[in-house]
Structure formats: structure tokens, C-alpha cells
Amino acid sequence: MGHVRAAEPQVDEATYTWAVHINLNEEYPPDQISPMWKKVARKLEDRGIVALWVREPNRLNKLHYHIIVKNQISKAELKKAIEETMPSRKVVQWRKRVEDIKKEWRLCHYVVKAKVKGYNKQGVFKTDLYGAKRLLFKPNMPFRKVGTIGDFWERDKSKTKMWDDIKTIAKRIGDGLEKPNVKRLAEYVYDYLNGHVPLKRIERSFGHDADGPAVQDWIRSLLSGEWTDEDDAVEGY
């Protein structure tokens, strides 16, 4: 069956639109970095870009930026905006990559190099998936690690509205786990992964997307295979 990966939480509509990665190809002094990026961020905001950015070093002492774009904009328009707001490549050597966001949950953990468990691209399970890439700036550097462009954060939601949203998601997960064989699938995946991924995390993911084709197709496959002769598997169709 290959590597089983617990599905990650999904949302009904994409919250973010694009992931942008900008790499500086050369090493630049700290006092040059902040003024340059402030100018870029201001120009992007003037063009209506709304985003979160994270600044990172690499082991060659060069910087790169991860940018999560929130506003609706075409890929072509976004690329054009970046080209016109970044410094000339005759002055600063840089390159960019703009890509679709396939998994918001994973992207948000990746850009800040959060300590999470998971499988790397080679299919090897890691208790600290991004540990090898997590580098910190020296103290008192003259620039920030994280910032925003435009009005990125939700400011119009009251605490009551946010709590209502949380309760709605919790109810969807609970209702999903009550559907035939969804909770059993979560337990099956938990056992298959030898407990490397917490059961609650798997249940939240499968419960939230209980009616999705990935979950339902997997259940049908098991009902016609491994679960055929098991008493506690319920057809429910």
C-alpha cells in the first residue's frame, strides 16, 4: 500500500492565493537588507498586495523570503508586480518562484519552520520535519524576521465570531466521525503509522473531510479488501 499519510485539515475555500519564494543570490550586509525590503513591501502594498512574509537565512549566509499572498490576483499579475517592485538584478541578484498553494496547513508550518512531525520528500518519517532547515539570526540584527504587507490579519472578526467559527468546525469534525467507518479509518491509519501521528490529529482531519472523495474512496477500498471479514466494519451505504 506504500506510505500512508494522514490527511491534513482542509477548508471549504482557499484562504490564501499564492506562495512566493524570493531568493537573494548573493550575500548582502544587514544594513542594506531592511531598507531594500521596506521599499519593496511598500510598493507591493501600493499595488494592492496583501501578504505575510518571513525572512530566512541559509547556510551560505544568503537571505530568502517566503510570502503567503492573501488577495485575489492572477499569477501573471503577481509576477509582474514582483518584477517591477524588486530592485534591478543589476543591483541585487535575486530569483523568484510563484506557486499554487496545495496544502495551506503544511505551507504555514513550512514558512516558519515549525517543529512538526511528518514525512520528507523521500518518504522518511521525521520527528522534526524542518529541523535541518531551521536557522536563527544572530541577536540584535537590524531587521525583522516576520512582517505583513497590507491588512493581512483579520481585524473585523469579534472574539464571539471567531469562537463561533471554531465551534462550527468542531461540530463538523464530530459529525464526520459519527459517519460509518470514518473513525475506524482514523484508527486504522494511526495503527499503520505506529502512533507517529497523534490519533486526535488524524481524527480531526478525517472528521472534517468525512464526505470527501479521498476518505470515502479509502473506506470503500478497505471494505472490499482488508475489512471484508471484520465484524465492526459497517457498510452504511
- Report the pLDDT value the prediction gives residue 182, as an integer from 0 to 100: 95
Q: What is the pLDDT of residue 119?
A: 82
Pairwise CA distance, residues 94 & 86, whole Å? 9
CATH hierarchy code of domain 18-149: 3.40.1310
Please check the confidence at residue 6 and state whether its pLDDT lies above 50.
no
| Local structure of residue 18 (DSSP, 8 states) | E
CATH 3.40.1310 domain range(s) in the chain: 18-149
pLDDT given for residue 12 in this prediction: 38
Long-range pairs, 185-188, Cβ under 8 A, ≥24: 185/215, 185/218, 185/219, 185/222, 188/222
The 10s digit of each residue's pLDDT in 183-204 is: 999 999 999 888 878 888 899 9
Q: Which residue has the cell 522534526?
A: 128
Helices then strands, counting H and E runs in the chain, come out as 7, 7
114 or 119, greater pLDDT? 114
Q: How large is the average pLDDT for residues 160-186? A: 90
The pLDDT of residue 163 is 82
